[in-house]
């Protein structure tokens, strides 16, 4: 075994530079809206989740990512290293760093268009050693063949595989068979279940040991084996929901990696996600563990219960 403990986390996924503009509302098709403040932020589902894992603490976090040889890569690298993420970069000469164009409304809603760039060049053979890794966290912003290959390798190595099945798309049964924990939102759950049924019924249709569905301002619902667990959301004043789901995923995996019981992990993830909604940006909004602990303390919740 390497110097990394078996509790370490490997995140394999996307990294983008987000171009964010505030506007009164998200434009409808064909509509032009005069926006307000414009800023750039490091983002991408994989990078956001890696930053959330690292900031949640308790487990060393490493990320496999692909970046271009351009100026957009630098702020992404700086942000991840600042969060405490060890980087395993596959540099792409022929592809630019991934970008995302995000409009955030005054109500905190968003509309996102992603140009994958270098993310689309992440290959099955790029997976680094899994020595010491306890959890592999994946998403669907990189090629599906690579995601499936990473899950298969992790399953063979005895690593717990966590898949955030976003953005929504059809998934092969072979991939789902290698997943231990599936995290989805309501739309993604319905797409995978193939039915517009009640959430509990759709959770039961998915052949993955643990399935967790995030419900926005209603919190989350988890099927752990045959047991259903519900965690209400924490009310906050929403500024920007970008990255809130990624924060949930990263905080959840970090809690599980350090041995937290499932109810505690769900509670921490919902609290971290709520805090992320009170700030602008994706990685910039992700709270550290001490902030989550303080937030739970203010809510009168003992984190260890």
Residue located via tokens 């405490």: 84
Residue 222 pLDDT: 97
Question: Number of helices (H) and strands (E), helices first, in the chain?
Answer: 9, 13
Q: In sequence order, what are the residues at sequence separation of 6 or more whose Cβ sits closer than 8 angstroms to the Cβ of residue 250?
A: 11, 48, 49, 50, 51, 52, 53, 54, 55, 56, 137, 272, 286
* 160/141 Cα distance (integer angstroms): 20
pLDDT (tens digit per residue) in 119-177: 999 999 999 999 999 999 999 999 999 999 999 999 999 999 999 999 999 999 999 99
Domain boundaries of the chain, sorted by first residue: 8-15+44-97+117-298
pLDDT (tens digit per residue) in 243-269: 899 999 999 999 999 999 999 999 999
DSSP string, 8-45: EEEEE---EEEEEEEESSPPPTT-------EEEEEE-H
Say if CB 259 and CB 305 are below 8 A apart: no
Strand 98-105 and strand 110-115: the pairing is: antiparallel
Closest by CA position to 91, among listed 116, 115, 66: 66
Give the whole-number percent of the chain exceeding pLDDT 90: 85
- For range 47-59, the mean pLDDT: 95
299 confidence band (pLDDT: 50, 70, 90): confident
* 141/64 Cα distance (integer angstroms): 13
pLDDT at residue 69 tops 90: yes
Continuous segment of H or E residues that includes residue 55: helix 45-56
Catalytic residue among 18, 178, 240, 246: 246
Residue 302 pLDDT: 60
* 156/154 Cα distance (integer angstroms): 5
Residue 6 pLDDT: 65
CATH number of the domain located at residue range(s) 8-15+44-97+117-298 in this protein = 3.40.1190.20
Residue 3 pLDDT: 39
* 41/196 Cα distance (integer angstroms): 35
Is 180 one of the catalytic residues?
Answer: no
Residue 7 pLDDT: 81
pLDDT at residue 305 tops 60: no
- For range 284-305, the mean pLDDT: 83
35 confidence band (pLDDT: 50, 70, 90): very high
The DSSP call for residue 72 is: T
């Amino acid at each position: 075994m390497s110097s990394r403990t078996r509790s370490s986390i490997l995140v394999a996924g996307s990294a983008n530079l987000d171009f964010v503009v505030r506007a009164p509302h998200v434009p409808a098709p064909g509509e032009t809206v005069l926006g307000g403040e414009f800023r750039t932020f490091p983002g991408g589902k994989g990078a956001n989740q890696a930053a959330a894992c690292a900031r949640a603490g308790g487990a060393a976090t490493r990320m496999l990512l692909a970046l271009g040889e351009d100026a957009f890569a630098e702020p992404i690298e700086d942000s991840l290293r600042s969060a405490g993420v060890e980087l395993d970069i596959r540099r792409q000469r022929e592809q630019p760093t991934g970008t995302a164009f995000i409009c955030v409304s005054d109500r905190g809603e968003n509309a996102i268009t992603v140009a994958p760039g270098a993310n689309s060049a992440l290959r099955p053979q790029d997976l680094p050693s899994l020595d010491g890794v306890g959890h592999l966290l994946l998403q669907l912003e990189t090629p599906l063949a690579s995601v499936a290959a990473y899950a298969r390798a992790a399953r063979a190595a005895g690593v717990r595989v966590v898949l955030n099945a976003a953005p929504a798309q059809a998934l092969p049964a072979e991939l789902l068979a290698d997943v231990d924990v599936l995290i989805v939102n309501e739309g993604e759950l319905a797409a995978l279940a193939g039915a517009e049924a009640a959430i509990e019924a759709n959770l039961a249709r998915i052949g993955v040991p643990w399935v967790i569905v995030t419900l926005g301002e209603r919190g989350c619902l988890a099927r752990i084996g045959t047991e259903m667990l519900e965690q209400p959301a924490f009310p906050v004043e929403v500024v920007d929901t970008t990255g809130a789901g990624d924060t949930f995923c990263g905080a959840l995996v970090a809690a599980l990696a350090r041995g937290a019981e499932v109810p505690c992990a769900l509670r921490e993830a919902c609290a971290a996600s709520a805090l992320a909604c009170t700030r602008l940006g994706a990685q910039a909004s992700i709270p550290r563990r001490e902030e989550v602990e303080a937030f739970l303390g203010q809510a009168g919740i003992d984190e260890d219960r």
